[in-house]
């Protein structure tokens, strides 16, 4: 489930498990040869920025991980290596292990490389240092639809397809509305909702966006049928009745991603 909340949870989990401790670093599948250089060094900190994860080691080294669509980083008790052919990176302190499989990126990064990457990312709703005005400048100057802008990591780093669909629904925004038509006040409402929803996602490890008054048990409407790990209004609910108005949720493929919305609750105004 690699939206930003997952990466922040991972950073916290890895920090809890390993920070300040020397770790055995290996790449059982061999596709991260730099593991040998890091082996035995101390993991000093783990930080999340949007969907990117940064592991800092002492002696000085920085590992950059991006899970992509299918990557997994699993934490568990120490034990023998299993399924080595897919195991890109393994951290082991003798008590706990962290195992990375299928990432889009796992690389050593220089400080300069990190700065360059950071420059491509907008504010992260899960970070205290985030400035929503940076995202607003990009939104307000763009003719692109707000649905497209929300997936742009320069607008809001860490937002993925689920949070996009859900925040647009919760704010009753039509996905096609051009960024330049979105008022600053509306953008700040969207931002504030993302901060709330994503922080809750970090806390629980799930994406739950349905307000109590719209929960199926409160309204008697059919519950979500897709098991992706949380209760949502529109994501992957195409054809099912909207939890608020009962109209069928619509979906459309755009820019390679599926967008979900309620044609009634999210009318273009």
Partner DNA sequence: GATCTATGTAGAT
Partner DNA sequence: TCTACCTAGATCG
**Positions of E strands within the chain:** 21-22, 24-26, 42-49, 52-58, 61-66, 72-77, 87-92, 96-101, 105-108, 250-254, 257-261
Q: Which is nearer to DNA, 132 or 201 (CB)?
A: 201
Q: Is 181 in the site for DNA (CB under 7 A)?
A: no
Pick the binder of DNA from 12, 30, 36, 104 (CB under 7 A). 104
Q: How many CB atoms lie within 10 A of CB 80?
A: 6
- Candidates 34-42, 90-98, 132-140, 158-166; binding stretch for DNA (CB under 7 A): 158-166
Closest separation in Å from C-beta 132 to DNA: 19
Query: Pick the catalytic residue: 138, 221, 257, 264?
Result: 257
Total residues belonging to the chain? 269
| Segment holding 118, helix H or strand E | helix 111-119
Pick the binder of DNA from 12, 83, 95, 222 (CB under 7 A). 83
- Look at phi and psi of residue 102 and say left if phi exceeds 0, alpha if psi is from -120 to 50, else beta: left
d(CA 76, CA 92): 10
Q: Which is nearer to DNA, 10 or 57 (CB)?
A: 10
Residue 252 annotated in active site: no
Q: Is 48 in the site for DNA (CB under 7 A)?
A: no
Q: Is 50 in the site for DNA (CB under 7 A)?
A: yes
Q: Is 89 in the site for DNA (CB under 7 A)?
A: no
If you write DSSP's letter for every residue of 83-95 in order, what string do you get? SGGGEEEEEE-SS
| Residue 215 DSSP label | S
Q: How far is CA 247 from CA 18, 198, 228, 262, 265, in A?
A: 49, 27, 22, 7, 9
- Candidates 17-25, 65-73, 107-115, 138-146; binding stretch for DNA (CB under 7 A): 65-73
Pick the binder of DNA from 19, 45, 66, 171 (CB under 7 A). 66
Q: Which is nearer to DNA, 55 or 65 (CB)?
A: 65
Query: Pick the catalytic residue: 51, 164, 224, 237?
Result: 51
Query: Pick the catalytic residue: 3, 164, 166, 170?
Result: 3
Measured in whole angstroms, how far is the alpha carbon of residue 58 from the centre of its chain?
27
- Candidates 34-42, 126-134, 174-182, 224-232; binding stretch for DNA (CB under 7 A): 224-232
Binding mask 111-150 for DNA (x = CB under 7 A): ----------------------------------------
Cβ(111)–Cβ(105) under 8 Å? no
133 CB-near residues (< 8 Å, 6+ apart): none
| Binding region for DNA (CB under 7 A) | 1-3, 6, 50-51, 66, 68-72, 74, 83, 86, 101-102, 104, 151, 153, 160-162, 207, 226-229, 236, 254-258
Tell me the catalytic residues.
2-3, 51, 257
């Amino acid at each position: 489930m690699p939206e930003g909340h997952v990466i922040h949870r991972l950073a916290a989990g890895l920090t809890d498990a390993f920070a300040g401790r020397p770790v055995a670093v290996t790449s059982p599948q061999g596709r991260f040869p730099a593991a040998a250089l890091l082996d035995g060094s101390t993991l000093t900190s783990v930080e999340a920025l949007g969907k990117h994860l940064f592991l800092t080691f002492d002696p000085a080294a920085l590992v950059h991980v991006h899970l992509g669509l299918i990557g997994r980083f699993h934490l568990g008790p120490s034990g023998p290596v299993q399924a080595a052919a897919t195991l890109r990176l393994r951290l082991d302190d003798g008590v706990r292990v962290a195992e990375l499989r299928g990432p889009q990126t796992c690389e050593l990064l220089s400080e300069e490389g990190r700065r360059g990457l950071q420059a491509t990312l907008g504010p992260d709703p899960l970070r205290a240092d985030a400035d929503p005005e940076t995202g607003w400048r990009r939104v307000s100057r763009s003719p692109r639809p707000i649905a497209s802008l929300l997936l742009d990591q320069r607008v809001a780093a860490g937002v993925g397809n689920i949070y996009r669909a859900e925040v647009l629904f919760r704010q009753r925004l039509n996905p096609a509305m051009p960024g330049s038509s979105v008022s600053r006040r509306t953008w700040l409402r969207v931002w504030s909702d993302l901060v709330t929803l994503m922080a809750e996602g970090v806390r629980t490890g799930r994406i739950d966006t349905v307000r109590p008054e719209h929960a199926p048990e409160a309204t008697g409407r059919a519950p979500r049928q897709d098991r992706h790990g949380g209760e949502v209004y529109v994501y992957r609910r195409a054809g099912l009745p909207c939890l608020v108005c009962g109209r069928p949720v619509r979906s459309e493929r755009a820019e390679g991603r599926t967008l979900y919305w309620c044609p009634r609750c999210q009318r273009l105004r």
